[in-house]
Structure 1
Amino acid sequence: MDETMGRRQIIYWRMLAAMFGQQEQAPNLEKLAHETVAELGMPGLLLRPDISTDNFLQRFPEYFDEMDLKLGEPGEPLRRAVIASHLLLNSFGPFTQQETVTAAQYSQWLRTVEFLERALGYEKGSLRGQGPGASVSPEHGRALPSPEICLATRELEQSLIDRMRLAELLQDRQLARQLTPSIGLVEQLLRQKGNISGVALEEAKRLIRTYVAELAEILRLEVQRAPAGKIDRSVPPRRTARNLDVKRTVWRNLPNYDPESRKLLVDQLYFKPHGRKKLPMDLIVVADQSGSMVNAMVHCTILASIFASLPHVTAHLIAFDTRILDLTPHIHDPFEVLIRTELGGGTMINNALQFAREKIREPRRTALVLITDFYEGGSDQELLGTINSLVQSGVHFFPVGAVTSSGYFSVNQWFRTKLKEMGRPILTGTPQKLIRDLKQFIVI
């Protein structure tokens, strides 16, 4: 190993030690790294994780071009190693682990990540999931980061937002526009919407509306793609060329075959049935307002608005914690529904189901979606009895514990077992299963 390679390794090992706050356990690495930087004639501030890239460049603007590493081009490997360690340390180092994060620190982090993207040859915003989603053509000279790096950066950003003084950030429109709408951010905004006003409230509503609109488009496509219910053969098929049943038509007309002309004389055409009776249906969505249920509540609120737009569907939306809130008048506007919810802690599920029961007109034409973690504030036995009576009456009951693509979610194990025995297992996971089940019941 030559001396340059050895010093590069020292720089990177020192970076890892600093990233995990272990400099004191590696004093030799710290000393050798500072000696290397001094020999290169570079400022020692590059090794300090508390000095942001922006602050460093304000003091040493001559290093701006050097921040663009342009991997693959010839250059001084040791200098590039020092710059790379600075950018990585500022993007993922000790500062990102602080208990609280200010708006200014978040802004500095965004700028550092932009420098890191530029240095690695990525499109601006690509590490945070805001860049182009397809491969970039060679003439652009830009690469795409690996999914693992993108995921780690997005998760880190969400963690920063969770620890940030969000009201302070939202007061700055320019900074607020750099936030990436996500379910975690929506939850934070819903929790704090009562404590913010003016510009901050406007930006909060904009972010929630943006996220809802993007998710609604995705779910609308999922609803369209999901398989529908069984074909109702009592519905006469449409007599169009697309529906022509060629095999059946030939088979039924075989007695009319003329051997002399070698032609099949067709007396009757047969068509494939595609019809499904669109009977009047009722959809009742009962959503737990507790903070742990935000993800499922957002998804199911949007799904309710999609199904409520069908002319043969009458939909109701009920939110609850220890109180009950009938949000049916706003069911066509998921944003308005979410703004009106109050994330709470207590849950009286049985009371909400009793309220929903009053909305049921014809049980066999009613789908009831209950979104909760099933940690009941009252009697578990009484709640199970209410659910059982609804199922026995013919109501199509859909218990939803979580609608999310990843992460552990806690659902009351007793109810998980009992509802599975009842033939109504609690749905957790992606929304596709709920969409498929609802579409089997509600004809679109």
Structure 2
Amino acid sequence: MTTGTEERLRRWRLVLGGGSADGTGCALGGQDERIDAALAAVYGDAEGGEVERKDRLNVGRGKSAPKVARWLAEVRELFPQGTVKVMQQDAIERLNLKQLLLEPELMDAVEPDVNLAVTLLSLKDVMPDAAKERARSVVRHVTDELTRRLEEPLRAAVTGTLNRAARTNRPRPRDIDWGRTIRANLGTYQPDRRTIIPERLVGYARARRQMRSVTLCVDQSGSMADSVVYAGVFGAVLASLPAIKTNVVVYDTAVVDLTDQLQDPVDVLFGVQLGGGNDTPLALRYCKDLLTQPEESIFVLISDLYEGSGSAEMLRRLREFRDMGVQVVVLLALDRNGKPSFDRQNASALAGMGIPVFACTPEHFPDLMAAALGRQDVSAWASARGMPVVHDEGLEG
């Protein structure tokens, strides 16, 4: 048997999990046995199933946390970080480890990621104080990592757009920026006259009477959990920009304004209540009072638009915002997947009003905000980047 064939059989054996039905006839040794055991603890094998998986980690038998913590440590040693996060989340879902996450030993062993942050946030109201402090440290690790990765692109995109908006090519004489004007006209230098003949003037536009305003209104029902995490991080970054007034509002069947907590994204996230129903019209009624300067306002609704009996009022109020002069954008999701389940009828109705409706990944959000602040056609912007934009015919581009 060739080495290549042996390697393929080895891989199939690890995938299939062994037992008489796998058909490989391949025996494992050394580290492969450890890998197989770690996988079997969560995914079982052809003859095992859920009962055997739970037995391997002693789930539900009192002193489960130490064994689960050892399994997590083993997984982190054997697999790449991306695989660890997938297995960790699968273990939480398949073996119902949520309550075990409240154990200090287990909390210290988990690999922080967005999925884990969402799980911990869903448990925050039943955590004892000691576990809550550890949970906050895990969530802070996640938000710090997201902020490190996403803050600079958002800051650069938004401030660049605002700086461009602050300049004009038709300045009044006292508003001419002579340094920029000279640099813009170096090609017209006349050597015989030793001077530049300016063909284009660059200057400062009149100062805005009001700051630009961004309101993020986030559906915090269970299906939107990842979006809530990213929206909290982006809201905190936007709030740190002096040229923008930022509001973050989350809602289910009640509305919570988290604007006063935006100095710390962890405080924002611990202020949400994931799961439950939703009442988008109630949130929109609240947010209308925040749109005090409609022409300077961007309103971003992050929702899957499943609204039931409230759909008519939701559509009417979003149309009202648009007619007031507000730049309205509806994001069906703000997560890495970018392919959400959503109410297609409501999405198509909004698209028919000229309101952009699409899903957005976190990496695209900074440029989205720059496009909105620059009063670009946001639907065209999203389509040009391959995002699934909803049209009024109900189709997606």
Q: After TM superposition, is the score higher than 0.5?
A: yes
Whether 2:134 is the aligned partner of 1:203: answer yes
Corresponding residue for residue 313 of structure 1: 244
Give the conservation status (yes or no) of the 8 Å contact 1:19–1:94: no
Superposition RMSD on alpha carbons, in Å?
A: 3.3
Q: Match for 2:135: what amino acid?
A: A
1:171 counterpart = 2:103: yes
Alignment partner of 1:340: what SS?
coil
Which of the pair has more CA radius of gyration?
1
Is the 2:338–2:360 Cα contact (8 Å) retained in structure 1? no
SS at match of 1:419: helix
Q: 1:328 aligns with which of 232, 256, 259?
A: 259
The separation in 1 between residues aligned to 2:177 and 2:255, in whole angstroms, is 46
Distance verdict in 2 for CA 1:165–1:245, change over 3 Å: same
Question: Match for residue 33 of structure 2?
Answer: 86
Residue 297 of structure 1, aligned match among 204, 228, 234: 228
- Counterpart of 2:354 in structure 1 is 423
Cα shift readout 1:228-272 (whole Å, capped 9, x = no counterpart):
2654315645444xx464462452x53xx43xxxxx412677887
TM norm structure 2: 0.76
Map of 2:324 onto structure 1? 393
Distance 1:394 1:26 in 2: 63
Deviation at 1:381, TM superposition (A): 2.1
Could you say which residue in structure 1 is the equivalent of 2:74? 112
**How many aligned positions are there?**
348
Q: Give the counterpart of 1:349 among 251, 274, 280.
A: 280
Q: In 2, Cα distance between the equivalents of 1:275 and 1:220?
A: 27
What is the distance in 2 between the residues matched to 1:267 and 1:349? 58
Quote the sequence identity (%). Answer: 22
Report the alpha carbon displacement of residue 84 of structure 1 after superposing the two structures with TM.
Answer: 3.9
Preserved contact between residue 287 and residue 320 of structure 1 (Cα < 8 Å): yes
Structure 2 equivalent of residue 51 of structure 1: none
| Residue 248 in structure 1 maps to residue 185 in structure 2 | yes
Q: How does 1:43-122 map to 2 (within 5 A)?
A: 82-93=29-40, 95-97=42-44, 98=50, 102=59, 103-113=65-75, 116=78
Q: State the distance in 2 between where 1:312 and 1:335 align.
A: 23
Give, in whole Å, the separation in 2 of the partners of 1:202 and 1:384. Answer: 41
SS of 1:405 mapped into structure 2: coil
SS in 2 for 1:165: coil
TM-aligned CA distance change 1:265 to 1:210, over 3 Å: same
2:203 equivalent to 1:266: no
Sort the Cα spacing of 1:245 and 1:105 in 2 relative to 1 into closer, same or farther, 3 A.
farther
Residue aligning to 2:115 = 184
Residues 15, 85 of structure 1: 8 Å contact kept: no
Unpaired stretches in structure 1, ≥5 consecutive residues: 34-80, 118-126, 129-150, 259-263
- Verify: 1:25 aligned to 2:25, yes or no: no
CA–CA separation in structure 1 for the residues paired with 2:203 and 2:69 = 56
Give, in whole Å, the separation in 2 of the partners of 1:396 and 1:440: 11
The equivalent residue for 1:40 is none
**1:246–1:270 Cα contact (<8 Å) kept:** no
Alignment of 1:221-236 (within 5 A): 221-226=152-157, 228=161, 230-231=164-165, 232-233=167-168, 236=175
- Aligned residues of 1:399 and 1:426 also touching (Cα < 8 A): yes
Partner of 1:402: 333
Runs of at least 5 residues in structure 2 that lack an aligned partner in the other structure: 45-49, 60-64, 375-397
Mean alpha-carbon deviation: is it higher for 199-208 or for 300-309? Answer: 300-309
Shift of 1:179: 1.8
Change (3 A) 1:274 1:440: farther
Q: Is the 8 A contact 2:284 2:317 kept in 1?
A: yes
- Counterparts in 2 of 1:411 and 1:172: CA distance versus 1, 3 Å: same
